[in-house]
Structure 1
């Protein structure tokens, strides 16, 4: 131990720091990655070229292209048509719905970014649950898990596969083919399907039972209508200057005239006698209105979603996306009305509806936000990378005439890579160019579709893997694993890497897990004299199949709020599945990749 170089200790310290920051989340993971990169270069462990190698890595470029290709397919409306198709078939019964949802999402996720697929189908499945009379939570979790099942079946199904493939080729290995993961991936898919269809379906709780957003977010307790009396001193005063709202810390959701017509331009509204003010506030603040003579509280009524569709606005449920820049920000720092012309009415976080002191609440990935937004701006909210919409809306700008073109481009990318005509990175770049030239999406839409946080994450953590190999830190960790397990054979070593990757990805991102463990797996294979491929497959499969935590994989985070899940729901349903996959992976992987 005392013979370990200072460089190795330094790299180990950085790994510990990285894991702590990834878990803590006080600093976003892309910034954490850049801190790692800068530290490695400034310390002299890596040259500037080595430090920036993560951004030029073929996996990073390919993943950026896959974001664009998925967006091109989405903007044509191809996935919406698929959604409508399985929506009709799934209405037969609950078990048929589970079957069709899992098969459809699984197949789609094998060829496009699975987070994009899940984002599109969340509102569809919530709508389907209403028609079936089932809790949405009983459908959303199987969808998320199926997206992971499908993602491990192809090289492009998940960023982790591309990342490990790139690390393999950089270390002189052959890399993986487009469908090389399919045999084991299909085994995982079949096992996961059978588990969810039998045991798992009984473990998934019925969380989201209320069908109306007004019920889901318990609006009855913090929303009311008040009538402005003719004698009120606030009559003939601009809405934005009224002290009634400022004094009582209330928010005006909407203003109606005495005939019930919504006054839409908030900046120019002048209050008049008998105007109806729909206000949001705590029970304590609303009760203070009872003692005022200038307003009259209307009799309490049971709110329904249709009560908020009389004007040019509507209720929508938006989920803070896994890589949203709003993750960790207090609500007061986000000017929702200025940015989106939307008001925040309530927040559901950690399974509880928050209605009081909303401005102090720090948003988190997976948090559901109830918005009252102008209808013409709802599509802007849907396309913003900060959110995943859980409410079905009509999308006005779908370019359905380009559906055959977009599908042909995706098939071309897959086909040329599968046949070995082009490397996957070249095939993906060509696909992006064709998507833009054929008008499936614009240059601006292409840039906006890229999740730059993921790109910067890869740009920062890949050099850490280089540093681990360059300093010998990866070899030392590999030797530690081998010392304890070599006597049990290479299968035990593979099993250890699968288990370690499976557990670590529940704490940090799947990409970071793969980037950290893949170099160690390669060094371990060299030390025990076996092929590296089985160990690398174990790392990438386990990193992409995380079921025990809502933060372990992006699709789990996306359904956490809309499904009204609690953390332990994933532990109860996901732990048996992860243990099952650990056993299957230990014995199935060597059947297709020999030691």
Structure 2
């Protein structure tokens, strides 16, 4: 074993740990890997930056723009409106239609974008039908993954593995090459969710459940008692504040010190600072109550058209892993966070200092003329929209036609997918489906830098000989059971790693090893690559394994164990199906 192999394997282990813990943003980790490999001399400068010009990176960036074109023209929202109307008829009807609609949509646009579009609609249906929001949101997230494995452009991982195959002289994936097994996954996953999965999702809407879960659907906010407040001079436990408003928990601070006494011994005074937990409806009452000032809102007089808005922190956004103060939230957005819902954990630090994570829900007041700007910001996904955004409906047919042409051209082999996607982006702007600014802002640059970095690591695995070394070990151990066992092993390894770290990073690291294993075993590498591709896009066991799971985590009032309970049988089911059907669709 050479020094280069030891260094690369050490970097792979470090990458897995850093990707899994997320103490450093995943795109920064990828760039650190790139820089380390470049400085070590294992890869040349042109190889280090080659990931940025790789067809997978360019295609993924173009698909972000094409997806934005469908959204801006209202083509995607049309499905949402139809779904909302069905909500009044039957929960099961809307569940089936929603899973089908999101699955089909996710086969052609970014999964996270598809879920973000349907998120506020699903929450509205849950309120109207009296059903727990989680019983709509988890099937919504899972269905987006079912659909994402049905086409080449369904997820960035599909495009990435196809590009790695092409770089090794293999035939890139066809547009609908994955559709056969993808539809089997879609059907099996949907049946499982409808018959079993939904029933395993806890029903969390009762008041007792909320108390037991430490107010997981409540907001933590901070208020100041003004001299004219009715509760000033009264004992906390019997105060008009607690009698008139349903507050789950309250802590009283005086001169910056927590009053650690029973509520029947604390006499409230003007200027006392209270940290309280309550739901949105009681928060509205609290905000309108005379003598109560929101600490975050003190000194600010919002316009007459200001409205309360709930927004989820989007995965990979500038707020993910940072506090409001660190992100300079007030100066950047001109808004003040009034309250936060933080994954059900009882928070004691100031709201401004609280470290936020993707899936947390912020509550703030915004004037109507700022609402569109907020809705366009990729930092948030609004879940309580007061009105629908303005779409360019006259360009709807044009946007759909452009995306359809890109798909058709790639499917028929008329042009490579990367060329068709680039031309589609240009047409989106020229036909005014998108402005140039909207096209640039539609690209998720974190994903682009992540892809570029992990592709470099894949190159190092191959160039150093580490891929061949690991492949030889796999062939000598698991390979003794036959190629089907090897395919099954690659699927299982990818599935488990994807639950802990980026699916793109997992695929980029394992794909070169899969190709080397196939060469060592003397069989076609296609089945191994497909095992990695499907497994990397089927992450059901954790809320952090896939961005759509993270997005629904807060609004759905989920706990980590909920994904384990519902997702583990689904992961096992897909593993068995992959082991049976991959060798049939892609013979050795």
- TM-score, normalised to structure 2, is 0.86
Q: Which of 410, 422, 443 is equivalent to 1:450?
A: 443
Shift in Å, 1:81: 1.4
Q: Is 1:10 matched with 2:3?
A: no
Aligned to 1:77: 74
Q: Which runs of 5+ in 1 are unaligned?
A: 230-280
Shift in Å, 1:367: 1.7
Q: 1:424-435 counterparts in 2 under 5 A?
A: 424-435=417-428
Aligned to 1:469: 462
Shift in Å, 1:304: 6.0
Contact in 2 for aligned 1:497/1:539 (Cα 8 Å) = yes
Aligned to 2:43: 46
Q: Can you list the C-alpha shifts for 1:180-230, whole angstroms capped at 9, x where unaligned? A: 1000000000110110011111111123568x9xx975459855774659x
Shift in Å, 1:393: 3.6
Q: Is 1:492 matched with 2:485?
A: yes
Q: Is 1:552 matched with 2:545?
A: yes
Q: Which of 430, 455, 461 is equivalent to 1:437?
A: 430
Aligned to 1:572: 565
Contact in 2 for aligned 1:342/1:374 (Cα 8 Å) = no
Change (3 A) 1:396 1:580: closer
Change (3 A) 1:168 1:142: same
Shift in Å, 1:340: 2.4
Partner Cα separation in structure 2 for residue 542 and residue 427 of structure 1: 27
Instruction: Tell me whether 405-414 or 480-489 shows the greater mean CA deviation.
Output: 480-489
2:499 is paired with a residue whose SS is coil
Partner Cα separation in structure 1 for residue 221 and residue 410 of structure 2: 57
Aligned to 1:292: 270
Aligned to 1:135: 132
Shift in Å, 1:346: 2.2
Shift in Å, 1:449: 0.7
Partner Cα separation in structure 1 for residue 354 and residue 23 of structure 2: 15
1:508 is paired with a residue whose SS is coil
Kindly report structure 1 stretches of 4+ aligned residues shifted beyond 4 Å. 219-229, 286-289, 304-310
Contact in 1 for aligned 2:341/2:361 (Cα 8 Å) = yes
Q: Is 1:311 matched with 2:304?
A: yes
Q: 1:146-225 counterparts in 2 under 5 A?
A: 146-207=143-204, 218=218, 222-223=222-223
Contact in 2 for aligned 1:217/1:346 (Cα 8 Å) = no
Q: Can you list the C-alpha shifts for 1:529-553, whole angstroms capped at 9, x where unaligned? A: 1111110000010000000010100
Q: 1:242-391 counterparts in 2 under 5 A?
A: 283-285=251-253, 290-292=268-270, 303=282, 305=284, 311-352=304-345, 354=347, 356-391=349-384
Shift in Å, 1:482: 1.0
Partner Cα separation in structure 2 for residue 181 and residue 108 of structure 1: 16
Q: Is 1:120 matched with 2:98?
A: no
1:37 is paired with a residue whose SS is helix
Number of equivalences: 536
Partner Cα separation in structure 1 for residue 109 and residue 270 of structure 2: 58
Contact in 2 for aligned 1:320/1:367 (Cα 8 Å) = yes
1:185 is paired with a residue whose SS is helix
Aligned to 2:93: 96
Partner Cα separation in structure 2 for residue 225 and residue 372 of structure 1: 20
2:304 is paired with a residue whose SS is coil
Partner Cα separation in structure 2 for residue 289 and residue 110 of structure 1: 60
Change (3 A) 1:426 1:362: same
Q: Is 1:482 matched with 2:479?
A: no
- TM-score, normalised to structure 1, is 0.85
Contact in 1 for aligned 2:217/2:344 (Cα 8 Å) = no
Change (3 A) 1:524 1:216: closer
Shift in Å, 1:427: 0.5
Partner Cα separation in structure 2 for residue 504 and residue 294 of structure 1: 49
Partner Cα separation in structure 2 for residue 164 and residue 405 of structure 1: 31
Partner Cα separation in structure 2 for residue 83 and residue 293 of structure 1: 47
Q: Can you list the C-alpha shifts for 1:437-478, whole angstroms capped at 9, x where unaligned? A: 000111111111100000000110101101100111001111
Partner Cα separation in structure 2 for residue 477 and residue 219 of structure 1: 49
Instruction: Tell me whether 311-320 or 403-412 shows the greater mean CA deviation.
Output: 311-320
Aligned to 1:258: none
Contact in 2 for aligned 1:340/1:377 (Cα 8 Å) = no
Shift in Å, 1:341: 2.9
Q: Which runs of 5+ in 2 are unaligned?
A: 230-248, 260-265, 289-302
Partner Cα separation in structure 2 for residue 392 and residue 291 of structure 1: 37
2:336 is paired with a residue whose SS is strand
Contact in 2 for aligned 1:177/1:418 (Cα 8 Å) = yes
Shift in Å, 1:344: 1.4
